[in-house]
Structure 1
Amino acid sequence: MTRCATALALCLGLLSQQLAAQDMSAPASLEELIPDSAVEDPEGWAQQGDQPDLPSPDDGPVPELEADSPMEAMPLLTIEAPEDLQLPDPDPVEADEPVEFATFEDVIPPLPEGSGERISDELVLVFPTERSLFPERDEFLDRFKALSTIEGLDDDGSQARLSAQARADEELLQRMLRTYGYFDGQVIRSVVSPEDRPDADYESSIARFDIIPGNRFTIGTVDLGNLSQTGTDYDDLRAAYEVFPGDPLSLDAITDERYDLDTALGESGYPFAAIDDPELLVDHARAEGDVTMPVTPGGKYVFGNVTSNLDDFLSGRHLARIARFDPGDTYKRSDEMDLRRAILATGLVGSVSLTPVEVEAPSEGQPGTVDMEVEMTKAPLRTVAGSIGYGTEEGIRIAGSWEHRNLFPPEGLFRVRGIAGTREQLLGATFRKNNFRGRDRILTLDAFASTLDYEAYDARTASLVGTYERVSTLLFQKPLSWSVGLELVATGEREADADGVFGPRQTYLIAALPLYAQIDTSDDLLDPTRGFRVSGRVSPEISRSDSSETVYVRNQADFSYYQQMSDSLVLAGRARFSSIPGASVEDIAPSRRIYAGGGGSVRGYGYREIGPRNSEGDPTGGLSAVEFSLEARIRTGMLDGTLGVVPFVDAGSVGDDALPDFRSIKFGAGIGLRYHSGFGPIRLDVAFPLNPGPNDAAVAVYVALGQAF
């Protein structure tokens, strides 16, 4: 419409020049065709488009022009074409150099021979047959299976759905190739139905991906910002970031090694170090990637003091005592985190945060100093606990306790406890001071009065026991544990005679010095899978009764070994040897003798039911014992791998002499279930005596937390 309007405007402009000298009043026929407004403003009139006043074909025939009209005077122009027109032939143009055209093979090389990996009924990946062309194949496959859209969603048999998922998996494969450094790799996607390939072994539609990895890119330059400002620490810190020019390019390594460098900075005295996210610039022409990761070390420091926001509750002095660092030691982030765990392990705080605070800046090549500022919130300090249980050998047992875990700050616990049961009654009070005079050292004073009522003897006992120890806890398993103590006991005991009648009560005054040590190389306190434990107990004792004095030594040695045979099988074995040299059985109070049997001893027999017996068949205890246990701990994979099965066999014997007696050894066997919870295995064992005596039950059941040993 615009070009037509412009041409019409041009014609009207010429007409306006011819009619300029004429009177503006024109014949009606001409006025109808060209109004005066068109003559005055031809362009504006032409831009209005079709005017309602102009005639249209629907209005009938166009009126003829009069003879004296200027339009009638314009002649037609006719140009005749020449009859014999011949053009000369152009001269041929010769090329300066011959032109060579690339063949198809030069542009796209032939695909390497591939081998397929059938992942599922509708998913196949094809890799180069030559493994050296893509050595990351196995890891790549495992990773893809975990992320694949086709693998992750249900198969409903829809080819449209499969095609959509295949497009998503194609993008995933491209990203994964780049992750491993194959930036020129190709992924060829095809979705094939059985109708498309009747010769193939396809029962349903299948998505196929041909992986052409190409050449793997390498690391170009590595820019770590201001890391060189660490001076003499630079070489060790640079070695921690194991990404070097010429290495195969891996996005995983670039990211993961950042954390290794961060750890190295934190362990080398740089509490304020900062590392920005790494960036990669890929140059396809060089087939290299340049890494830039700005590092700001922030200065080197040593530890200063430890401060506390609750000084009357847990003072800074006490927290410094349980820290594994001293003022002047090079700052280590692991020491900071260890102190945080140790504070939480007290059970006295609900939350804790540690912040390094600069008190002296580095200067003249010397490190600065940071104090560790500890912010804590108190946890509930009082606990009331209770339990009720029943055992075939022990009857009903009800236990309860009340405690305040910081009644005597810092970490001074006071507990009152009691037991009411068929066989045992007890009332006692305990004072315990955690982290006393050192990390993980515990001072305990325990005073209690108890009664024990068994078929073979009963005892009325008052005891005062003090120990100073360093033992493993659930948070801090220690390779070396030890304990020293002092035990004062006053007990009145009586034994049953051959007819089961109790004789007169005999009073014993006992002083003992119990000592304990253990070496533990196992990998877990409650559920070990490898390593060993060796422990020994020695308790020299003096016993005075009826104006006679007896000196003897109670000894016990334990050895256990754990061997992991596979991911689902652990073999475990245990041996125990006990002995009391220096006295006869009659000179030792019945409660201080050696017994065997029960869930922590020989399963299948009652608690303390193995050993010499009187004529009524009640155990009387002995001077020595040997015990052996062997079990296979099998993870079944059931309940998401939390359920385990443990077949076991135990053996044990108690003798009247100080040397172990193997003549009357008892055997027990059974099977157990283990539910592996987040805090340790819960144990249920069902055991049977293999050579029971007349007083032994046919089956015994044990429930506890943790493995049997």
Structure 2
Amino acid sequence: MRLGFGCNRPRLGLGFKPLLVLWLISSAASFTPNAQAVEGKAAPLAPAAMPHLQILGLTDAALIRQVGLSVPPLRLNCTASTVALQRYVDSAAAAAEQALQAYGYFNAEIVPALIEQNNCREPQLTITPGAPVRTSSVNIVLHDADGVNLASNGTFQPFLQTAVPALGAPLNQNAYTALRDGLLARARGAGYLDARWLVHELRVNPKTDTADIELKLNTGIAYRLGTITVAQSLLNPVLAERLTGAKSGDAYTTQRLVAMNQNLAGTHYFSDVRVRPALDARRDGLVPVVIKTEPNTPRTYEVRVGYGTDTGARLGSKITQRYVNSSGDSWKGDLSLAQRQQTLTGTYSIPRLSDPLNQQYDLYTKFDRESNLGITTVSSTTGAQWARKFNLWTSSLYSEYLLERSQFGAEPAQTAGFLLAGARVGRRDLNDPLFPTKGSVLSASLSGAAKPLLSTASLVRAHVMVGGLYPLGDWVLKGRAEVGGVVTPAFSTLPKSLRFFAGGDQSVRGYAYQSLGPKDANGVVIGGQYLFTASAEVMHPVYGRDWWGAAFVDTGNAFDSLANMGLATGAGVGVRWRSPVGMVRVDVAYPFNGSSRIPRLHLGIGASF
């Protein structure tokens, strides 16, 4: 078999002996097609033919590729002198020998030659690789400055399990180099900045076709972080240092430096962060770290437009003041105007100095007006919360005062006030926040009020939602369940926001938003004491990976008695589009309960649960 690459016409070899032809074309050569003689001028001379290096005898694809990439390019034409061609074929043989040794072939026979072919002397290498050298022993010793063996240390053990060559395996010098360099890189990345080789040898015996690997590394001491200096003028220096998530005395590792950079860059205070360890200034086991920063713009503005079948058309805007003072305080205001609901919120946030990355205090106020299905509410909420996050979890403890005026249908409007105290917890673990296909979500809340403490009635209210996605081949299975309940001796005094409703895009599709629940004598849905909804959905790509089809079944209701849940069920199909701003959902669902059995269209943006 003969393979050809280049501009000249490929040639087919005869016989069965494997042959690789590398056509190495001189970059200086040029060719003018269809050159014609011009009257009074000589026609341009045709370029000299180009020889091609032929490599015979190799059958292993890896060896063919290794040798082919190692030999020098051929920049001679067929008129080159014999001396020049011989010099080239000798250099190609030397390069081929080194390439074969890298794969463990130390006894290869390489015969260089110049052959006359097609009126051109072409260089040729005939290679007999011979038996490969095999690894006969591997001796690796890792110890620190105190002589402690580190081979079982978590820094090195996983790497050693995969990188150490198996005894009896053909020698691969690239694998040896990766092992040697990988151990040193991991040692220095783990803070052993003075690590040095006592022995690093690959001993090859071509007579016995064996190779012995011996590596002895003295890692020295494990360094720790010294003084951390954050070059900035926005924040209290103590706050700025704690925003790195590290402190002086912590173990020095490359991973920690990366985390420090990400932590600072993840705040809204800085637009650029560069962490630089002062390695030349290290002493006494400590490495000073200097972090250079650029301040972020102090204020941002945002305008939003959208549409959802639950809310109707909506328009929103938000202003954020990223920093107010050296304590890192910030505030934001958000206005949302939708057909059914209008909301204005303001939040003032104060980072907790002891743990500013994960904890903060929020003071907030909210004004809300909603009109839907015969219920009109106007409310205000003012409160404070202590919010924390850890890994994938978020939690908060809060206290707020809710004042709400509700009118259910033709009933007289009633005003109620509640001093609520409660807790929230959540967890979100999704492979893609914009278009998830695997992961889980959880949210739960518990709150209460006591009538003697500025509240219209005493109550305890709880709500839990869990959801998940599980890929099965090209299919994605999605599920959700939601339960809630409120216990109070005076349910009729509760405003709408403390009651439960079902139905809508993210509840039970096939039914209008908040259209499911107990009704009054006039047929107006007034909400229930308890809630249960569940959903099962399957998705499958229909066009590339951006367009998906979906089929689903939802069920649930809000109710006043566990013995009379009256679950309503809807089922349908939909389309999911991976848009630049996230998932766009279009669903058509058929309701199996109620007086109206007309399919309902549901539109939404964003991953829903």
Whole-angstrom distance in 2 between the partners of 1:645 and 1:164: 55
Of 426, 444, 461, 1:536 maps to 444
Whole-angstrom distance in 2 between the partners of 1:548 and 1:340: 47
Say if 1:569 and 1:634, in contact at 8 Å, map to a contact too: yes
Q: Which residue of 1 aligns with 2:608?
A: 708
Residue identity matched to 2:419: A
Whole-angstrom distance in 2 between the partners of 1:509 and 1:279: 80
Counterparts in 2 of 1:442 and 1:573: CA distance versus 1, 3 Å: same
Counterparts in 2 of 1:648 and 1:279: CA distance versus 1, 3 Å: farther
Say if 2:191 and 2:222, in contact at 8 Å, map to a contact too: yes
Cα offset, 1:602, TM superposition: 2.0
Matched residue of 1:377: which SS? Answer: strand
Q: Which residue of 2 aligns with 1:427?
A: 344
Cα offset, 1:643, TM superposition: 3.8
Whole-angstrom distance in 2 between the partners of 1:670 and 1:436: 50
Of 481, 486, 511, 1:580 maps to 486
Does residue 457 of structure 2 align to residue 550 of structure 1?
Answer: yes
Residue identity matched to 2:251: T
Does residue 514 of structure 2 align to residue 608 of structure 1?
Answer: yes
Does residue 599 of structure 2 align to residue 698 of structure 1?
Answer: yes
Say if 2:308 and 2:603, in contact at 8 Å, map to a contact too: no
TM-score with structure 1 length normalisation?
A: 0.61
Does residue 209 of structure 2 align to residue 287 of structure 1?
Answer: yes
Cα offset, 1:214, TM superposition: 6.8
Counterparts in 2 of 1:221 and 1:654: CA distance versus 1, 3 Å: same
Does residue 256 of structure 2 align to residue 308 of structure 1?
Answer: no
Q: Deviations over 1:17-42 (max 9, x none)?
A: xxxxxxxxxxxxxxxxxxxxxxxxxx
Q: Which residue of 1 aligns with 2:358?
A: 440
Q: Which moved more, 1:176-185 or 1:580-589?
A: 176-185
Q: Which moved more, 1:345-354 or 1:279-288?
A: 279-288
Cα offset, 1:256, TM superposition: 4.7
Say if 1:302 and 1:329, in contact at 8 Å, map to a contact too: yes
Counterparts in 2 of 1:383 and 1:227: CA distance versus 1, 3 Å: same
Counterparts in 2 of 1:518 and 1:451: CA distance versus 1, 3 Å: closer
Counterparts in 2 of 1:586 and 1:212: CA distance versus 1, 3 Å: farther
Q: Which residue of 1 aligns with 2:22?
A: none
Residue identity matched to 1:673: R
Cα offset, 1:593, TM superposition: 0.8
Does residue 400 of structure 2 align to residue 482 of structure 1?
Answer: no
Matched residue of 2:259: which SS? Answer: helix
Residue identity matched to 1:232: V
Of 314, 324, 327, 1:407 maps to 324
Residue identity matched to 2:405: G
Cα offset, 1:485, TM superposition: 0.8
Q: Which residue of 1 aligns with 2:239?
A: 318
Larger RCO: 1 or 2 (CA < 8 Å, sep 6+): 2
Of 460, 471, 475, 1:564 maps to 471
Q: Which residue of 1 aligns with 2:268?
A: 347
Q: Deviations over 1:151-180 (max 9, x none)?
A: xxxxxxxxxxxx999999783165799699
Counterparts in 2 of 1:418 and 1:587: CA distance versus 1, 3 Å: same
Whole-angstrom distance in 1 between the partners of 2:54 and 2:312: 64
Cα offset, 1:445, TM superposition: 1.5
Whole-angstrom distance in 1 between the partners of 2:102 and 2:438: 35
Does residue 384 of structure 2 align to residue 466 of structure 1?
Answer: yes
Say if 2:416 and 2:493, in contact at 8 Å, map to a contact too: no
Q: Which residue of 2 aligns with 1:662?
A: 565
Cα offset, 1:553, TM superposition: 1.2
Q: Which residue of 2 aligns with 1:264?
A: 186
Counterparts in 2 of 1:282 and 1:427: CA distance versus 1, 3 Å: same
Say if 2:142 and 2:150, in contact at 8 Å, map to a contact too: no
Whole-angstrom distance in 1 between the partners of 2:511 and 2:472: 30
Q: Deviations over 1:489-508 (max 9, x none)?
A: 122222213xxxxx432211
Matched residue of 2:241: which SS? Answer: helix
Cα offset, 1:397, TM superposition: 2.2
Matched residue of 2:456: which SS? Answer: strand
Q: Deviations over 1:328-370 (max 9, x none)?
A: 232222222112111111133222111223698556xxxx112
Residue identity matched to 1:381: P
Whole-angstrom distance in 1 between the partners of 2:228 and 2:459: 48
Cα offset, 1:644, TM superposition: 3.4
Of 208, 217, 220, 2:133 maps to 217
Whole-angstrom distance in 2 between the partners of 1:521 and 1:179: 49
Of 306, 323, 328, 1:389 maps to 306
Whole-angstrom distance in 1 between the partners of 2:54 and 2:541: 36
User: What is the CA RMSD across the aligned residues, in angstroms?
Assistant: 4.5
Does residue 407 of structure 2 align to residue 494 of structure 1?
Answer: yes
Cα offset, 1:577, TM superposition: 0.9
Q: Which residue of 2 aligns with 1:374?
A: 291
Whole-angstrom distance in 2 between the partners of 1:287 and 1:230: 38
Whole-angstrom distance in 1 between the partners of 2:55 and 2:548: 40
Of 364, 371, 374, 1:456 maps to 374
The number of residue pairs the alignment matches comes to: 506
Q: Which moved more, 1:570-579 or 1:327-336?
A: 327-336
Cα offset, 1:232, TM superposition: 2.2
Residue identity matched to 1:317: V
List runs of 5+ in structure 1 lacking aligned partners. 1-162, 188-210, 473-477, 498-502
Counterparts in 2 of 1:556 and 1:165: CA distance versus 1, 3 Å: farther
Q: Which residue of 1 aligns with 2:44?
A: none
Q: Which residue of 2 aligns with 1:645?
A: 549
Counterparts in 2 of 1:409 and 1:166: CA distance versus 1, 3 Å: farther
Whole-angstrom distance in 1 between the partners of 2:55 and 2:490: 83
Q: Which residue of 2 aligns with 1:673?
A: 576
Cα offset, 1:537, TM superposition: 1.3
Say if 1:357 and 1:370, in contact at 8 Å, map to a contact too: yes
Whole-angstrom distance in 2 between the partners of 1:553 and 1:165: 86
Q: Which residue of 2 aligns with 1:197?
A: none
Whole-angstrom distance in 2 between the partners of 1:252 and 1:662: 69
Larger proportion of strand: 2
Cα offset, 1:655, TM superposition: 0.5
Does residue 412 of structure 2 align to residue 504 of structure 1?
Answer: yes
Whole-angstrom distance in 2 between the partners of 1:548 and 1:481: 28
Whole-angstrom distance in 2 between the partners of 1:165 and 1:683: 58
Residue identity matched to 2:515: E
Whole-angstrom distance in 2 between the partners of 1:328 and 1:217: 48
Say if 1:301 and 1:362, in contact at 8 Å, map to a contact too: no
Say if 1:579 and 1:660, in contact at 8 Å, map to a contact too: no
Whole-angstrom distance in 2 between the partners of 1:165 and 1:604: 72
Matched residue of 2:265: which SS? Answer: helix
Counterparts in 2 of 1:549 and 1:491: CA distance versus 1, 3 Å: closer
Whole-angstrom distance in 1 between the partners of 2:145 and 2:341: 70
List runs of 5+ in structure 2 lacking aligned partners. 1-51, 70-98, 110-126
Q: Which residue of 2 aligns with 1:38?
A: none
Question: Once the two structures are aligned, what percentage of the paired residues are identical?
Answer: 19
Larger proportion of helix: 1
